[in-house]
Structure 1
Amino acid sequence: MADIAENPGRRRGVMLVLAAPSGAGKSTIARRLLAEDPMIDLSISATTRGRRKSEEEGIHYFFLTPEAFMEKRDAGAFLEWAAVHGNFYATPRDAVERSLAAGRDVLFDIDVQGAEQLKRKMPEDVVGIFVLPPSMEALKARLNARAEDSKAAMEVRLANATGEIARWHDYEYVVINDDLDDAYDLVRSILRAERAKREYKSVIPHHVEALLGE
């Protein structure tokens, strides 16, 4: 059988949800996946958080005022939304549904609350991967290395990490990011396996039917 990624229209896309406490490395893994796999689309979140100097509108996030965010939420424009670290975050609906219908996979680099909402609303489409740090000391070091975050913001993220880590069992897969290359390879392997499951569910029954009809 040809590489599943070469035949995107033959299956429904995978909603690949990467969740983790801040600083665990999920965004680094996500960026590498997007750079190396042409069949993955990034779900760009909307947020009321202030834009960092390195971020661009429509590439990293859609930056909204609280009023605009609530207006879109009330209009049903979001698949999920959550209040995280004192700001609102959400997943815009239309782009995700278009990608899935076209057989393209959609990558979600989101918070734990958002991941849980997606799993409740679209359980057949979502594959959840929780990324853990090797230790709390490593997590603290990674957060301290973020030059763009204030000390207060880092303290909030670290305080929330314990509760987020305790929910690891809500995910189909868990990856410990002790070595970035190893963690990335494991995430890629998970995606390949989930693509294969969907390929078989959507393609094999039709193929068998055609064989028996010859």
Structure 2
Amino acid sequence: MNKPGMLIVISGPSGTGKGTIAKILAEDSDFELSVSRTTRAPRPGEIDGKHYYFTTVGEFEKLIEENGFFEYALYNGNYYGTPVENVEQKLLSGKNVILEIEVKGALKIKDVYKNDYISIFIIPPSKEEMEKRLRERGSDSEEDIKKRLEISSAEIEMAHNYEYLVVNDTVENAVSDIKKIVAVEGLKTKRNDNAILKFKGEVK
């Protein structure tokens, strides 16, 4: 019997580097990144099916009607959603599945998984650094940057709804901190029923 993987929810305001962190974690064979759907246009270098499933508003809303998302949110004029497809199978196979999603969407995960997941909020070391990262990204207009900074102020207030807070001063440190969190979570009694049953001789 495989030990089930853990669901890891990573979110935070734009400019925190959460997408880069999630991609680096997914390079480890113990982790797999769940690919979200969105109605926003691809940024330079983004590939459909790898970074996001890019879709139309009509297609997205059809999936909403069919209960095809664990959660979805409207953010800065665009839909973002976590597809149901394949997540459960990945968890049962022993993979730790990373959901890199917006704050509003992350809170809706509680309705599905209650407290049986790991929630991590990512922030940069300062507001100035967050704005710097948004500008260096080079994919947003000045208007979009201002909107994202306004939204981030409200999102920071939601940090206390998460179990863990990771400050992304460097990507290497943030990835290391998250791996430590996952290692500790993996030792919790509720995630090790199989070890207890094996000790009792009820499974091999």
- Matched residue, 1:116: 107
Q: 1:31 aligns with which of 23, 29, 32?
A: 23
For residues 151 and 126 of structure 1, the distance between their equivalents in structure 2, rounded to whole angstroms, comes to 36
For residues 181 and 108 of structure 1, the distance between their equivalents in structure 2, rounded to whole angstroms, comes to 19
Q: Which amino acid aligns with 2:122?
A: V
Q: CA RMSD of the aligned region, Å?
A: 1.8
Q: Residue by residue, what CA displacement relative to the aligned partner does 1:147-166 show, whole Å, maximum 9, x if unpaired?
A: 12222211111110000001
Aligned-pair distance for 1:134? 0.8
What is the number of residues matched between the two proteins? Answer: 203
- Matched residue, 2:140: 149
Query: TM-score, structure 2 length as denominator?
Result: 0.93
For residues 47 and 40 of structure 2, the distance between their equivalents in structure 1, rounded to whole angstroms, comes to 13
Q: Does 1:136 align with 2:127?
A: yes
- Matched residue, 2:159: 168
For residues 199 and 125 of structure 1, the distance between their equivalents in structure 2, rounded to whole angstroms, comes to 9
* Unpaired segments ≥5 residues, structure 2: none
Q: Residue by residue, what CA displacement relative to the aligned partner does 1:79-114 show, whole Å, maximum 9, x if unpaired?
A: 111101110011110211111122211111111011
Q: What SS is found at the alignment partner of 1:103?
A: coil
Q: 2:83 aligns with which of 74, 92, 99?
A: 92
- Matched residue, 2:66: 75
- Matched residue, 1:19: 11
Percent of residue pairs identical: 35
Please identify which structure carries the higher helix content. 1
Q: Residue by residue, what CA displacement relative to the aligned partner does 1:116-156 show, whole Å, maximum 9, x if unpaired?
A: 11123212432100011111111111111111222221111
Q: Residue by residue, what CA displacement relative to the aligned partner does 1:57-85 show, whole Å, maximum 9, x if unpaired?
A: 11111111111101011001111111011
Contact 2:2 2:92 in 1 (8 A): no
